Structure formats: structure tokens, C-alpha cells
Amino acid sequence: MKYTEGFWLTSERAKISYASEAYEVEEIPGGMRVLAPTKKINGRGDTLNLPVITIEFKAAGHNMIGVRAWHYEAYESGEARYELNETPGGYTVSINDDEAVMTTGDVSVVVDRNDFSYSFVVNGETVTRCGFRNLSYIVMDREHSSMLPGDDYMKATGDDYMRCELSLRPGECVYGFGERFTPFVKNGQSIETWNEDGGTASQVVYKSVPFYITNKGYGIFVDHTDNVSYEIASEKVEFAGFSVPGEELRYYFIYGPKPQEIIREYTSLTGRPALPPAWSFGLWLSTSFTTNYDEETTSSFINGMSERDIPLSVFHFDCFWMKEFHWCDLDWDKRVFPDVRGMLKRYHERGLKICCWINPYVAQGNDFFREGVKNGYFLMRADGKGVKQVDEWQCGMAVIDFTNPEAVKWFTGKLKSILDMGVDCFKTDFGERIPVDVKYHNGADPASMHNYYTYLYNKAVFELLKKEKGESEAILFARSATAGCQQFPVHWGGDCSASFPSMAETLRGGLSFAMSGFSFWSHDISGFEYTATPDLYKRWVAFGLMSTHSRLHGSTSYRVPWVFDDESNDVVRFFVKLKCTLMPYIYSQAVLAHEEGIPVMRPMVFEYPDDPACSYLDMQYMLGGSLLVAPVFNEKGVADYYLPDGRWTHLLTDEKREGGRFYRDTYDYFSLPLYVAPNTVIVRGNTDDRPDYDYTRDITVHIYELEDGQTAYADIVDDKGVKVNRITASRNGSVIKVTADKPVDGIGYKLHMAEEGIGIA
């Protein structure tokens, strides 16, 4: 939200009180507290009729400082709160007449007591700063107040906000805020963290996360579940500003300096992702949304994939596994699926996992709805007139109240009955259309629950899957998210369209999502809305299979490859099999994500933060730390891409390219820019018909452009994510020595070196 009109003028709608002096500073447990009057105090009389802002700085983790600023101390917002895991370490506080300094780890916050400011400082260098007119309490649209008798006596009401602005340095780029489809670098954008069902082609998003990261070595997490309004070099071009409704503002400064270190600390605070089961990395095939289907139809899809030798891992039943006008009563439509248990047993015997679509909304007119009404399991109207119902999406639908423990038991109990039939996981759709004119069972502020609702929704379903299927088998396919939802993978990008621009915006969303602490991500291959051309379908297949999770899904038409053209069968087969052979590498990267929060799909700037050419790249990415992927986004088959420094090797052709420059090449449908970084060891499997197999044997170790004096390694994990071995390659002159921590059955080696005469010892 903008509160000013140009740099000098304040909006006539806003009454702004700025922190102007660090009048008092005291050490408190965990850090220090600052009393900041909203004007300079030159005498005792200046302390009267004056708002003050109080600021606390506390050590919250390694190189992490928590900041809390407030206007009214006794204010209680009733807002929902994120579940955070602070790990405060040691700290020191030093206070004198000129400045106050709190230090934890490598980071200090330095408060200037005379000309009010506070700066986050590392090794004597200011990383970012909040100074003149940057911290404020704001009343918008203040109503008339009078000291005379009447309704307006001392009223002084309006909409209250707390705002902070942090300085940006020249060349500083801001990333993150969740899955955002606008330009990857967020400078110049106004951003509202308010989840809504808006597709992928606007500023409206399904997954808002009040966290950003910059290429200058730090991240900022604003600890509010309500809407956080950002002005990123937009209201004031030298600052990233953020404001929240109410009397209090909380945020965390997290220093890296590398993106990996920032994300590691951020996910330590907000939660690390569970490790998805290995089978989930294979190909998912959906019925699509509004298509007609029954068991004969779904079996024809499954048979068709098998007949064409296309490995399939998961079959997904979308909405119409339930009867129309009955979503989501969680009952199979017996008109088209009379033998559910038998059907699912037959599919399991073919080695498939089964996914079913659900959402947290229940249409009226069925027994499940009536049971929820009777027991008080839905959100209630704010005016006290019963259950909140709307006709959006489903007729007269109600929304399950996940703050009610009994409602959670009721909903997950019904889901358990579906699991008992043979379903393995759920697509947890929606969770964004959450009304605010409602009452929650726990009394939480409904505006703050709008985004936080998806956390409780997905957590409830994920915890059920962990209980019923086992921790190693639990996985969702979720659309909505907020901070912390990375713990419940995997998420997909929502309703994109069948076009190259939509394919590109989908990738931008995924890259922003990765910069927001999410490790596993997917998208609807070839687009959800409309039907792709065969050309677009095949290009998107390459992108989709080089993502962590891969699903063929659409709206009004089927997405099996043979409905596009014969070559589509070959392209899907090629990339599914390629991904299966890469699973030892991909799954080792998934384990890293699970243990440290480092995303598997990474923006180029994430992996190469010191390369200025990477700052704005949003049409390519790294799959793990070693594979560069640049999808083709046009009918001509032309790809423009950048390779960082070093000698890169094309995974499919072994062609060598020198880095530090851009390239333009043309590719057929069976290739794309898919390059291996230099000084890399990649372990590949020799199984290409399924993603879940024994990664510890019958493998080939590929060594790419190992430079003299360099050492590279690859961890070998099993299909449960346990690290069981490490392959290490070290080069000395013309000899590369390869060792394994443990003996490996069926191991082979392959060198990918431009130099001749290099051998393995």
C-alpha cells in the first residue's frame, strides 16, 4: 500500500507518525529494546501528547535477528500465528549515548540514537538500513474527532497500520513472495500477500509467502499471517517497504550471505519439507477436469501408456470421481464406478499409485453436509445466522473449520475411508477462497486466517497420510500455500493456459516459489486451460519431466500423448525414461532439500549469486546443483540460454560449451539445453521403466570436466532417502582417482572430458 504521493508529500488519507529518536535503550533477555518517540525530544514538554514506537531486537537463530515494533503495547490482534522454530544463540549488547549495538553470529544491529536509524551490519558493512521516515505508525482515513460532547468525542478511529522500509543498494534485486507470475525480479512491483484463485496470468496468486530474498546476501520474513502489503522499489525506489494492519509489526532479518545459507536458516525457522516418496517423481496421468470418464475410460488411458511403453507411476482421478453437485462429500459416484475397491486393486496390481482430488468445501444437499452443519464443523456467519454458505464453485457450499479439532477428525476420518479403499494420496485443491466475514471455532481473526487456512488444511491431510501410509509414503499435490506449507509437499502451479507465454509465466512462478523456501514443485504439462498444439505439448513435456514432479493434466480435454500426434508418444517416453535414469541424482537432491531446505529446482541466481548475468534469468534453471535446464518457449525450436563460467557438457550429446556467455541454438523435440556443470559427478541408474528402484547398485558414475586439483563427489541414497554411500573423484594431472565409501555392485564409470589422455585410477 502506498502512503505517500511522491517523495515529499504524504497522502491526505494518511496520518503518519515516524520513529524519530532512540530516546531510551535497554538490554532485555535475548536482545535489546528501544523507545522511539515520533519526534525529537528537546525538552520534557515534548514528551506529552506524543505517540511512541517501541522496538525490540532479539537473537532468533544463526545470523538471524527478530524485530518487533509496536504502537499500543496492550493491543491484541487475535491473528493466527505461524508455527516457528526459533533457535537463539549467543548475543552481546553494547549501549552508549551515541549508539546501541546487538550482535549475534556475524550480524549486528546498530541503532543510531541521535539521528534515528538502525542498520544491519556485517563485518563493518551495512547490509540494509531503516532510517529517516522508514519506521512508522499510520492511521488511514481517520474519522473526525472532537473534545466536545457528541458521538465523535475522542473517537480518532481509522484503519491502523505499522510500516517498515529497508534500504536497497544499487544493483540489488529482490526475489520471492511465493509463487508469483509477474517478473522474476520484483523491483518496481506492489505486492499483496493475499491468496486467491486467479490463474497464472496476473498478479493474483495461489501461494503467498511474506518472505523475500535479495542478491545482496539477506532475506526478510514478515511474521504475519494477515495480508502483508509490499512496495518493492515502487513507492520509494531506494527501499523495500512493507506494512501490516494493526498496532504491531514483526519480522526477521536473515543473513547468508549465499542464498543457500539464507534458505537453510529460513526453513529452519518455518519448517523443512518432508521427503516425497521416490515413486512420486515418476509420471502422473490425470483424467483431466471436466472430461467424461469411467473405469473403461481410465483403463484405456493406462493400457494405452503401457502399450506405448511409456512408464506411468501415478493415476489421478480428478473432480468427477464424485457425483456432480456433491463436491466434496467424498463419496465415489457409483453410477460410473460401481466397483471402486476392485478397480483400485487392479490398478495397484499394475504397479500404479492412486491419487484423488479433494477440496475443503462441501456443497449442500447431501448427508455429509448435513452432518457438518449439525455438529458445527463449518465456518459460521459473522452475523450469527448459521453456517457461512456461498454459491461460488459449489451450490450452497460451506467451508470446513480446521481450527475445530473435532471437524478435523470428522474430515480426515472420511478421507481415511477413501484410503482404505486403495487410494494412496490426495490432490488438495483450493484453500484460497476463504471468506473473512466468518467466525472460527478458536476465535481467530478471520482476515489473518484467509491465508493461514491452507496451512491447517494441508497439514491435516498430510498428517493423516503420515499416520495411515507411513511417513515415507506421505505426499500431497497441493495448489494453495503460505509460509510453512513447504513441509507438506508437493505443490503445483495452478491453472495455466496452453500457450508458450503461459508456459514461461509458469516457470517464473516456480522460480519465485523456490526463492520462497519451497523445494518441490510441478505444473500442468501443456497447460490446464484450452488444448495445446502438438508442438507446444512436446516442448512442455521436456520442461515437465525435467521438473521435480511431472503431471499430465488439463481442463476440458484428455492429456494422453496419442491425442496430439504419434511423435508425442515418443517424446513422452523419451523424457520419462530419461528422468528415471536420473533418479539417483534427483533423489539425492531431494534428500538435501529435506535435510537442509535447499530447493531441488533452483533459479540461476540461487546457484550462481556472484555471476551478475544470472540476476534476471527466468527462462532457465538448475535441477539440483549440477543440471542446467532451459526449456524451449517458441514454435521455431530456438532456445536462448546462458552458461556460467567453466566448460559445460550437454547431458544428451556430450557436446562441450565454454561458459561465461549466452548461446542461441535450435533443438528438435527430443532435446533442449540440458547441460552438466563442470567439476561434477552424477550417478545415473540403469533402470528406465520406473522412478523407484535400488539406486545403490547397477549404476554408472559420470564424471564431467573435472579440473586438475579439483575434487567432486556424489552421495548415493537408497529409495527411502537414506545416505548409504559417497562416490568421490579427485584429479591429479592426467589421472582421476575414484573411490567409494563402500563397495558397489554393478558399478560403471564414464568420463566426459574435453581433454585427451585423462584416465581413471
Residue 71: the pLDDT is 97
Query: What is the average per-residue pLDDT within 662-691?
Result: 98
* Nearest in space to 173 (alpha carbons), one of 81, 259, 69, 62: 259
Domains of the chain (ranges, CATH numbers): 13-73+90-270 (2.60.40.1760), 278-359+403-581 (3.20.20.80), 622-760 (2.60.40.1180)
DSSP three-state, residue 375: helix
Report the side by side order of strands in the sheet with 647-650: 601-602, 621-623, 627-629, 674-676, 647-650, 656-658
* Nearest in space to 178 (alpha carbons), one of 602, 430, 519, 513: 513
Residue 341: the pLDDT is 98
Cell 574435453: give the residue: 754
Residue 144: the pLDDT is 79
Contact 572, 532 (CB under 8 A): no
Q: How many CB atoms lie under 10 A from the CB of residue 48?
A: 6
Query: What is the average per-residue pLDDT within 149-170?
Result: 90
Is residue 205 classed exposed, middle or buried when 0-12, 13-18 and 19+ CB atoms within 10 A define those classes? buried
What is the per-residue DSSP string for 54-74? EEEEEEEETTEEEEEEESSTT
CA angle 67, 69, 74 (to 5 degrees): 130
Cell 554408472: give the residue: 700
Residue 585: the pLDDT is 98
- HSE-CB for 469 with a 13 A CA cutoff: 28
pLDDT in tens, 319-329: 999 999 999 99
Cell 481509522: give the residue: 158
Query: What is the average per-residue pLDDT within 480-499?
Result: 98
Cα pseudo-dihedral 138, 139, 141, 144, rounded to 10: -140
With a CB cutoff of 8 Å and minimum separation 6, the contacts of 182 are: 189, 203, 508
pLDDT in tens, 733-758: 999 999 999 998 999 999 999 999 99
Q: How many helices (H) and strands (E) does the chain have?
A: 11, 47
Q: What's the grid cell of residue 515?
A: 526463492
Which residues carry out catalysis? 429, 432, 495
Q: Which helix (H) or strand (E) segment is 415 a member of?
A: helix 405-421
Contact 347, 337 (CB under 8 A): no
pLDDT in tens, 450-467: 999 999 999 999 999 999
Contact 587, 600 (CB under 8 A): no
Query: What is the average per-residue pLDDT within 238-263?
Result: 98
Residue 64: the pLDDT is 98
Query: What is the average per-residue pLDDT within 699-728?
Result: 96
Query: What is the average per-residue pLDDT within 646-650?
Result: 98
Residue 143: the pLDDT is 83
CA–CA gap between residue 500 and residue 619 (Å, rounded): 12
Q: How many CB atoms lie under 10 A from the CB of residue 84?
A: 17
pLDDT(155) > 80: no
pLDDT in tens, 383-411: 999 999 999 899 999 999 999 999 999 99
* Nearest in space to 423 (alpha carbons), one of 461, 479, 367: 461
pLDDT(152) > 90: no
Contact 716, 724 (CB under 8 A): yes
Quote the mean pLDDT of the chain.
Answer: 97
Query: What is the average per-residue pLDDT within 84-97?
Result: 96
Residue 419: the pLDDT is 98
